[in-house]
Copies of this chain bind each other. A is one copy, B any other.
Amino acid sequence: MSPTSQFKRHFLNRQVLITGGLGFIGSNLARRLVALGAKVTILDSLIPEYGGNRRNLAGIGRKVAVHLSDVRDRHSLPAFVRGQDFLFNLAGQTSHMDSMTDPETDLEINCRAQLSILETCRQHNPGIRVVFASTRQIYGRPDYLPVDEKHPLRPVDVNGINKLAGEEYHLLYSEVHGIRSTVLRLTNTIGPRMRIKDARQTFVGVWVRRILEGRPFEVWGGAQLRDFTYVDDAVEALLLAATRPEAEGQVFNLGGPPPVTLQQLADLLVEVNGGGRFVVKRFPVTRKKIDIGDFYADHGLITAKLGWRPRTSLRTALGRTVGYYRKELRHYV
């Protein structure tokens, strides 16, 4: 059976809740699930600084139920969670800098709301299958590369601390209360529907915006190594995590094609775009303390256990991303 027909068997006519479903990864996931015949409900707060954008559902808007609600509102959670077969728990505050200037908001969303969601599952729908989107940020500055799941967890910002608590709640509820959950630690994810207005979600977003607007983009540092997952590959991992029994209670890194320096990434973006300029700047002192240096992930575990691997080259990923925003720019800036 092809992956798609396998997934169809799992998702056709099934009820799926996506928190943060108007966001970058959530909306790409929703589009795939609609194609697979799932009945998708989206919960998203559309906070302007976050990743949600109604344009992300263009073409499938009538096929999903969208509720403007916030995961911090614990009172509405039972109504969302009841009757769902799957929960893709993607709502989050993602900006590392914002987590340092407004740490309590980050805690409310990435920590407290996650516990409320799991408590709601325990009380109202203990049979639900949950996938939680965590982040490489919880590893902090790597002791070794590539970073596997056994690497010590030493978050360097409030966001990392709270995301770590969030994933631990999921694993605990899986272990102790039988709320079957899988945690994916995402690395830098890029692709259509990411936030490009600024660097709050990913610096690649604002690079793409600037190059399409004909302005030079800024590369901070330039020598740091990073890996990138194309969003379709991340969606594939989310679907595998949700449907494979052997993924229950487990944590998996995602990864990407071979890592590149930011300078190489910038060069490739200019090449793929057929032109453009960037300036290399010194890494800002204010961010130095929460920077993690080089990072790339070892995704060997999810390859071995679930058969996932990144299928999209960085060149293809950037090409599709630039192609998308060339047409859609006005909806995202």
Contacts and interface: CB of A to CB of B under 8 A. Distances in A.
A112 B119 contact: no
Contacts of A172: 155-158, 161
A304 interface: no
Contacts of A175: 156, 289
A287 to B, nearest CB: 10
Nearest to A175: B289
A282 to B, nearest CB: 19
Contacts of A112: 104, 107-108, 111-112
Identical copies in the complex: 2
Interface in A101-118: 103-104, 107-108, 111-112, 115-116
A222 to B, nearest CB: 24
A100 B161 contact: no
A169 to B, nearest CB: 6
Interface residues of A, number: 27
Contacts of A157: 172, 176
A169 B165 contact: no
28 contacts: A103-B115, A103-B119, A103-B169, A104-B116, A107-B111, A107-B115, A111-B111, A111-B112, A111-B165, A152-B152, A153-B153, A155-B168, A155-B172, A156-B172, A156-B175, A157-B172, A157-B176, A158-B169, A161-B165, A161-B168, A161-B169, A161-B172, A164-B165, A164-B168, A165-B165, A175-B289, A176-B289, A176-B290
A100 B176 contact: yes
A93 interface: no
A56 interface: no
A243 interface: no
A152 B164 CA distance: 14
A108 to B, nearest CB: 8
Contacts of A100: 176
Interface string A134-175: 000000000000000000110111100110110011001001
A161 B168 CA distance: 7
A116 B161 CA distance: 15
Nearest to A176: B289
A281 to B, nearest CB: 21
B111 A104 contact: no
A40 B79 CA distance: 49
A104 B169 CA distance: 11
A157 B177 CA distance: 11
Contacts of A115: 103-104, 107, 158
